[in-house]
Amino acid sequence: MRAFACPACGSFAPFEATACSACAATIGLHPPSMTMFELGNDGVDIDGRCWIRCTQSVTLGCNWLVPEEGDARGRGRCLPDSLIRREPDASDTVAREKLVPTAQALRRLIYQLLDLGLPVQPFWRADGPPGLAFDLLSSYSERERVTIGHAGGVITIDLVESLDAYRESLRVRLGEPYRTMLGHFRHEVGHYFQHILVETGSGADEYLAECRALFGDEQASYAAAIDRHYRFGAPANWAESFISEYATMHPWEDFAKCFAHYLHITDTIDTAREAGMVLQADRVRFAAPRDVVPLECYDDVPVERLLDDWSWISLFFNRVNTAMGKNPLYPFTIPPPVVTKLDFVHRVVRASARERRAG
């Protein structure tokens, strides 16, 4: 995540900030430039166009800016908030409260996808590939289980997962080392991008056979895979070839897990770089082969360079977390077969970004 600065005084401005904590200037995120701007009472003029607050600035705490003329189908919402297809009724105050942090996680997801150059096509636009939509619902409100998942571009998220105690209980019961709301978004959007970039996109002829060789045949029965996984669990040697036990269930889940980890890794490395973090080999008490200086861009380097930088950066972050009595930040080991899978994801993501820039 980029480190933002207050446009008025230059102080650090958090991604979700609506006002500068140092000078109290009213600020908002301008998506095209991915920078913060100071707002007046009537918004802010940027390159001859007036930008104002997203209509969800009060209800969902959104600090993104939108063009004053807006987009009728976008309902005056910023891009991430306009992707919310279903949400709790305004009278459901408990669920609406949980919608706020969930929408914040959604905005972090969409920002990263845009930053990577991936296509984010709203469901309400008829042109292009299948649009992306989010149904943010609550099991408590719906009086029936809301199943987190993806189908035809629609990602469903259970707002109850925003409750730390509930989410943690599921994490322990399911034997997962990591479970967060942002993690859910990153995993489910992996299913979406596998469909539009690998299975049906312009690169399908090139990608599909390789994807099946790496992850398995996605045409295998998903229902049978679920039944097998929850009856017998993961294979005993799963850690030799998969990033997690859940990834062993079906080729779709393996791809989605790897896609999510690619987003975890790239976003955290970007955050470290934006903070000026460098590991100096001659200043640590253990043997380090080189200085680790996160790159501005990993587009033109093999995924092995990205993952080698990550191995050292995550080592530091894991130690920081355990120093605070918390679980390691990144409690995963990346075996060689997963490196190959992440390389495939890396190439697909970067190719898509180049295609969009060229188009």
The predicted pLDDT at position 357 comes to: 82
Tell me how far apart the alpha carbons of residues 97 and 100 are, in angstroms, rounded to a whole number: 6
> Helical H runs in 216-302?
222-232, 251-274
Q: Is the dihedral angle over the CA atoms 288, 291, 297, 302 positive or is it negative?
A: negative
∠270-200-259 over CA atoms, to 5°? 25
Q: Could you give the 3-state DSSP secondary structure of residue 7? A: coil
Cα Rg of the chain, angstroms: 21
Segment 110-167, tens digit of pLDDT:
999 999 999 999 998 867 667 999 999 998 886 778 999 999 999 999 999 988 777 8
Number of other CB atoms surrounding residue 132 within 10 Å: 23
Task: Point out the residues of the chain with pLDDT beneath 70.
Answer: 70-74, 126, 128-129, 142, 359
Rounded Cα distance between 242 and 316, Å, is 23
Model-wide pTM > 0.75: yes
C-beta separation of 328 from 322 below 8 A: yes
Confidence at residue 51, expressed as pLDDT on a 0 to 100 scale = 96
Which residues does residue 13 pair with via DSSP β-bridges, in sequence order?
A: 4
